[in-house]
Structure formats: structure tokens, C-alpha cells
């Protein structure tokens, strides 16, 4: 594991990140899911490092990055990623993101089209629909009232299959620990961000190789959301992984990496 470092953003916060040196020519930025951190990608790293160097940041408000006050937006998170690329000296990168990270990846591709060489969108959506804001507000307020632990059963049932949950492998144990370590007040602001997020209007402007992966039984960002992405991003490919739920990155990391290989290897 490489040492964690910190990159300053344009508004003065610190983004924690690790830069993993790979063996291929690609430069890959991977953006984690809600309430996770850069370690979310650990089980996919061996596959990704065969393609090239990999950046795994903790997003604003997550992990060891600054827990700055809100409000947040996916566009602001995209700006953070641009500042991170500047800090490490990367002009361009392939960008992959899961769930929240996929929303940020879409915003980044639209906001910085000349800095993206490929896009990998995992278990994600362009928006959570017309009822999203009150639903996300309710989820965030539940964490504020009862702590992050109050959401665990709900999250686990959506994240992974019952069999994976029963086995509780190290990657899922780590995800639980990462989730419960979040500050509820910050989590609420990220929930509000996701309730407002809507990248539908910019999807047709994305012009890089794009691969979309979704678990067949993903209840958080269902297959229909992935199909919407595939229909509106020119040339995108869609891969539906049978029987998996929302955190395919944890449950079948090698399969996800295989489906994203062409897009993320773009240089």
C-alpha cells in the first residue's frame, strides 16, 4: 500500500489520496461510493494496475479528506478531482466511479472534457428521480438522529447479496467500518447533494469510450438507470452482471474490471 498524501483544492480544503504505480501506460482516477473512501477499490487494484497508474482519492467530506461544511455539489466534487490531477501532474486520465463516484465521474467528463480519456460508470445513475430530495433528506436525517449504525441494515441489504453478507469477507467488514466512521452531519450534506444531482442534460456531450456496469439486482441504482446512461452517452457499452446488487466492486471486482478494461485503458 502506498503512503497517503494530500492535495489542496481551489477553495483550500485537503483531498487525501494514494497514487499506486502500475505496469501499463494508462492513468486512471477511481472515485468511490457514498460514505466509502479510496480503500473501496483495494480488491480491484491488481486488475487496474495492469493497465497503468491508479489514483484513489477520498472525496471531500469522506475518509481523511477535509470534512468541510456544505452544501456540496457533484460539480464541486468534479472540480476537486481536477485540482487533484493538477497536483499530481496528470493532464488527462481515464475516470471510473461507483454510485456517488459515478455521478461525479459524469460531471467531471462534462466539465473537463479535454481531461478525460475514458469513462467507467459502475452501479450509478444520472439522477435519482423526482422524489429524490425528500428521500435523501430522510436518509441523512436518520443518520443525524441515530448515528451511522442506524442505517447499516438498510445499506447492507442494498450493497450485496445475502450470501456475501453472510460470509462477511474482509472487504465488506472494511466497508462497514468505513461507513460507520463517517460524521453524520457531513453524510447529511452528501445525501442532499445526491438528492439534487442531475447530469441527464450533459450525457450526450460525453465523447470518450464509456463502459457502464450494473448489478442485475441493484435496488439503489437499478438497471433502468444504467440503461438510461447507455442510451444517452454516445457509443457507451452496457454490462449487466446477473444476480449482483449495488456494490459489485466488492462482490465481483475482477469481473467489473474486465468489463471496464477497454474504457479505462484508453490513453
Of the candidates 237, 229, 52, 208, the one whose C-alpha atom is nearest the C-alpha of residue 117 is 208
Q: How many CB atoms lie within 10 A of CB 208?
A: 19
In a domain, 133, yes or no: no
Q: How far apart are CA 149 and CA 14, in angstroms?
A: 27
Of the candidates 132, 129, 120, 107, the one whose C-alpha atom is nearest the C-alpha of residue 199 is 107
In a domain, 152, yes or no: no
pLDDT given for residue 1 in this prediction: 64
Q: What is the Cα 48 distance to its own chain's centre?
A: 15
In a domain, 182, yes or no: no
In a domain, 52, yes or no: yes
How many structural domains is the chain composed of?
1
Of the candidates 19, 41, 21, the one whose C-alpha atom is nearest the C-alpha of residue 30 is 41
Chain segment 152-184, per-residue pLDDT in tens: 999 999 999 999 999 999 999 999 999 999 999
Q: Are 191 and 147 in contact, with CB atoms under 8 Å apart?
A: no
Backbone angles phi, psi at 92, to 5 degrees: -140, 160
In a domain, 86, yes or no: yes
**DSSP letter for each residue of 66-78:** ----S---HHHHH
pLDDT given for residue 267 in this prediction: 85
Q: What is the Cα 52 distance to its own chain's centre?
A: 19
Q: What is the Cα 242 distance to its own chain's centre?
A: 21
CATH number of the domain at 245, please: 3.40.50.1820
pLDDT given for residue 206 in this prediction: 97
pLDDT given for residue 2 in this prediction: 82
In a domain, 189, yes or no: no
Cβ neighbours of residue 264 closer than 8 Å, sequence gap 6 or more: 26, 28, 48, 51, 94, 96, 118, 120, 211
pTM higher than the cut 0.95: yes
- Going residue by residue through the chain, which has 267 residues, state the pLDDT in tens, using 9 for 90 and above: 689 999 999 999 999 999 999 999 999 999 999 999 999 999 999 999 999 999 999 999 999 999 999 999 999 999 999 999 999 999 999 999 999 999 999 999 999 999 999 999 999 999 999 999 999 999 999 999 999 999 999 999 999 999 999 999 999 999 999 999 999 999 999 999 999 999 999 999 999 999 999 999 999 999 999 999 999 999 999 999 999 999 999 999 999 999 999 999 998
In a domain, 173, yes or no: no
- Where in the sequence is the domain holding 32, given as residue range(s)? 5-128+198-264
Q: How many CB atoms lie within 10 A of CB 110?
A: 19
Could you give the count of Cα atoms lying within 13 Å of 163 in the half-sphere of its Cβ?
5
In a domain, 143, yes or no: no
Chain segment 111-137, per-residue pLDDT in tens: 999 999 999 999 999 999 999 999 999
**DSSP letter for each residue of 82-107:** HHHHHHHT-S-EEEEEETHHHHHHHH
Amino acid at each position: 500500500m502506498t503512503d497517503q498524501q494530500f492535495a489542496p483544492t481551489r477553495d483550500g480544503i485537503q483531498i487525501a489520496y494514494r497514487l499506486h504505480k502500475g505496469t501499463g501506460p494508462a492513468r486512471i482516477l477511481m472515485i468511490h461510493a457514498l460514505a466509502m473512501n479510496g480503500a473501496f477499490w483495494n480488491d480491484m487494484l491488481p486488475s487496474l494496475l495492469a493497465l497503468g497508474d491508479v489514483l484513489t482519492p477520498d472525496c471531500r467530506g469522506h475518509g481523511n479528506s477535509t470534512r468541510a461544511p456544505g452544501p456540496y455539489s457533484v460539480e464541486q466534487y468534479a472540480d476537486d478531482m481536477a485540482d487533484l490531477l493538477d497536483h499530481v501532474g496528470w493532464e488527462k486520465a481515464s475516470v471510473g466511479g461507483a454510485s456517488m463516484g459515478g455521478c461525479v465521474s459524469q460531471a467531471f467528463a462534462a466539465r473537463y472534457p479535454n481531461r478525460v480519456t475514458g469513462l467507467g460508470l459502475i452501479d450509478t445513475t444520472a439522477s435519482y428521480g423526482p422524489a429524490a430530495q425528500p428521500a435523501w433528506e430522510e436518509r441523512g436525517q436518520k443518520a443525524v438522529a441515530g448515528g451511522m449504525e442506524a442505517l447499516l441494515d438498510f445499506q447492507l441489504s442494498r450493497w450485496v447479496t445475502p450470501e456475501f453478507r453472510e460470509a462477511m469477507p474482509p472487504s465488506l467488514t472494511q466497508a462497514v467500518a468505513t461507513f460507520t466512521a463517517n460524521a453524520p452531519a457531513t453524510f447529511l450534506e452528501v445525501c442532499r447533494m445526491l438528492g439534487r444531482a442531475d447530469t441527464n442534460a450533459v450525457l450526450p456531450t460525453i465523447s470518450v469510450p464509456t463502459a457502464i456496469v450494473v448489478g442485475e439486482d441493484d435496488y439503489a441504482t437499478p438497471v433502468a438507470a444504467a440503461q438510461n446512461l447507455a442510451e444517452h452517452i454516445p457509443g457507451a457499452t452496457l454490462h449487466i452482471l446477473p444476480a449482483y446488487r449495488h456494490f459489485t466492486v466488492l462482490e465481483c471486482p475482477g469481473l467489473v474490471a474486465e468489463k471496464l478494461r477497454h474504457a479505462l485503458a484508453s490513453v
